[in-house]
């Protein structure tokens, strides 16, 4: 089906959906009403752009049709300008329509699991991992998402050797998915006494939160272990073995969870995290099989790739995948990274558009 036919089909479907939304029988059926409302919300902006495109093309054609009949040079110039502007508007609208039609990842609306691990750089890497944890937590707060620290191992002088966050909010995974990869920092660490600039790194992995229907786990493939969970200090040490570690034997993936007060709650959360990791592995395998010979501008999140550098002496953030440079690191590390996230999302949309 070509673009014109697809848009006409969407226009017809939108009309039918609007009629259904006014149908008392559908209004009373909450599940059906929700389905129709969601589809209507998906199609309305597309059809709106289609109407704008048709209007722009009609204006261009009208101005061009009047040109041969017009003798007045001033009016001819006006008509030529009007036609050119309408054509340019139509081209821009067509580009926006194509982007709207780019298939979205069905997981984009899910909650996200963000795993941050200190890399090269010793104590400074742990401090940097802590800074990234703060950055994503503050971003989530600004967007009205809930953040829960699932598991963490603190660094010896602060920060975290490892931290796992659950970010709960509509679209959290879609917004954060391009954060996966190696993040590098260049600065004078708090642990440095002679003022030398160090380079350290941390890895970030962003996974969609998946359900049992997305990833089925065979109980015979799972090994559970219970252990004591340590709190913020000695006085908070758990006397009972409430923490849980679950290992998936076929993949060797192991997940621990210790933030809940009961073993059952930690067990359930550990299983959710395990499903997310297994889903991500399978998704990447599928992508690599389909695109092994193709390089993408925005990568799929291979942790071996350095995706970004935070340079404190120059007050500069550079995302190496899209060549974007931003300044004001103090603001960035309190979660003001919306411009960066949107630029990455736009680059991803353009990349997928080229594959249509």
pTM: 0.67
| Calpha distance 256→184 (Å, rounded) | 26
- On whether both 85 and 130 belong to a single domain, the answer is no
What pLDDT does residue 301 have? Answer: 37
- On whether both 93 and 117 belong to a single domain, the answer is no
What pLDDT does residue 147 have? Answer: 94
- On whether both 177 and 70 belong to a single domain, the answer is no
| CATH number (domain holding residue 202) | 3.30.70.1660
Of 101, 134, 160, the last residue of a domain is 101
Quickly tell me which residue has 């003798």 as its tokens.
Answer: 71
Q: What is the mean pLDDT of residues 143-167?
A: 92
Which ranges in the chain belong to alpha helices (H)? 3-21, 24-28, 30-66, 73-101, 122-142, 172-176, 263-290, 329-332, 338-355
- On whether both 280 and 177 belong to a single domain, the answer is yes
- On whether both 134 and 209 belong to a single domain, the answer is yes
Query: Per-residue pLDDT tens for 210-235?
Result: 876 677 788 888 898 888 765 443 33
Mean pLDDT of the chain: 86
In a domain, 77, yes or no: yes
| Calpha distance 52→65 (Å, rounded) | 20
What pLDDT does residue 21 have? Answer: 93
What pLDDT does residue 82 have? Answer: 94
- Total domains in the chain come to 2
What pLDDT does residue 112 have? Answer: 93
- Residue 182: pLDDT band (50, 70, 90) is very high
Tell me what percent of the residues of the chain surpass a pLDDT of 90: 52
| DSSP run (H or E) holding 222 | strand 222-227
- On whether both 189 and 310 belong to a single domain, the answer is yes
In a domain, 26, yes or no: yes
Tell me what percent of the residues of the chain surpass a pLDDT of 70: 88
Burial of residue 112 (CB within 10 Å: 0-12, 13-18, 19+) is buried
Least-confidence region, from 66-70, 163-167, 264-268: 264-268
- Residue 305: pLDDT band (50, 70, 90) is low
Q: What is the mean pLDDT of residues 176-203?
A: 88
Query: What 3-state class would DSSP assign to 69?
Result: helix
- On whether both 320 and 226 belong to a single domain, the answer is yes
Residue 237 has pLDDT above 50, yes or no: no
In a domain, 81, yes or no: yes
Q: Which residues contact 146 (CB under 8 A, 6 or more apart)?
A: 140, 166, 167, 168, 169
- Residue 100: pLDDT band (50, 70, 90) is confident
Phi, psi angle pair for 254, to nearest 5° = -125, 135
| Calpha distance 241→227 (Å, rounded) | 5
CB-based burial, 327-340: b 16+ in 10 Å, e otherwise: eebeebbebbbeeb
Q: What is the mean pLDDT of residues 124-129?
A: 94
Structure-block tokens of residue 74: 């001033």
- On whether both 224 and 143 belong to a single domain, the answer is yes
| CATH number (domain holding residue 9) | 1.20.58
In a domain, 106, yes or no: no
Range of the domain at 67: 3-101
| Calpha distance 353→3 (Å, rounded) | 13
Of 51, 68, 101, the last residue of a domain is 101
Of 80, 101, 122, the last residue of a domain is 101
Residue 236 has pLDDT above 70, yes or no: no
């Amino acid at each position: 089906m070509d673009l014109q036919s697809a848009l006409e089909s969407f226009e017809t479907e939108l009309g039918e959906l609007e009629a259904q939304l006014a149908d008392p029988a559908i209004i009373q059926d909450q599940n059906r009403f929700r389905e129709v409302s969601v589809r209507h919300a998906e199609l309305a902006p597309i059809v709106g752009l289609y109407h704008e495109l048709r209007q722009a093309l009609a204006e261009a054609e009208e101005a061009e049709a009047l040109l041969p009949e017009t003798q007045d040079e001033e009016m001819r110039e006006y008509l030529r300008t009007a036609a050119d502007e309408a054509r340019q508007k139509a081209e821009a609208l067509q580009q926006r329509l194509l982007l709207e039609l780019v298939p979205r990842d069905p997981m984009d609306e899910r909650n996200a699991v963000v795993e941050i691990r200190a890399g090269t750089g010793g104590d400074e890497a742990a401090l940097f991992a802590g800074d990234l944890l703060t950055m994503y937590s503050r971003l989530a707060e600004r967007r009205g998402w809930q953040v829960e620290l699932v598991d963490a191992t603190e660094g010896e002088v602060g920060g975290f050797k490892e931290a796992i966050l659950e970010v709960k909010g509509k679209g959290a995974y879609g917004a954060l998915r391009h954060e996966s990869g190696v993040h590098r920092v260049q600065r004078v660490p708090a642990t440095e006494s002679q003022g030398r600039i160090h380079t350290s790194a941390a890895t970030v992995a962003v996974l969609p939160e998946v359900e049992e229907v997305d990833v089925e786990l065979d109980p015979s493939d799972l090994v559970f272990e219970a252990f004591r969970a340590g709190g913020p200090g000695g006085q908070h040490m758990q006397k009972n073995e409430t923490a849980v570690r679950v290992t998936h034997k076929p993949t060797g993936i192991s997940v621990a969870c210790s933030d809940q007060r009961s073993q059952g709650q930690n067990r359930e959360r550990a299983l959710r995290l395990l499903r997310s990791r297994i889903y991500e592995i399978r998704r990447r395998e599928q992508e690599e099989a389909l695109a092994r010979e193709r390089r993408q501008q925005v990568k799929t999140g291979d942790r071996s790739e350095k995706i970004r550098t935070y340079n404190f002496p120059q007050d500069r953030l550079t995302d190496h995948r899209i060549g974007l440079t931003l300044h004001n690191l103090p603001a960035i590390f309190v979660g003001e990274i919306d411009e960066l996230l949107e630029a990455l999302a736009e680059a991803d949309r353009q990349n997928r558009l080229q594959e249509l």
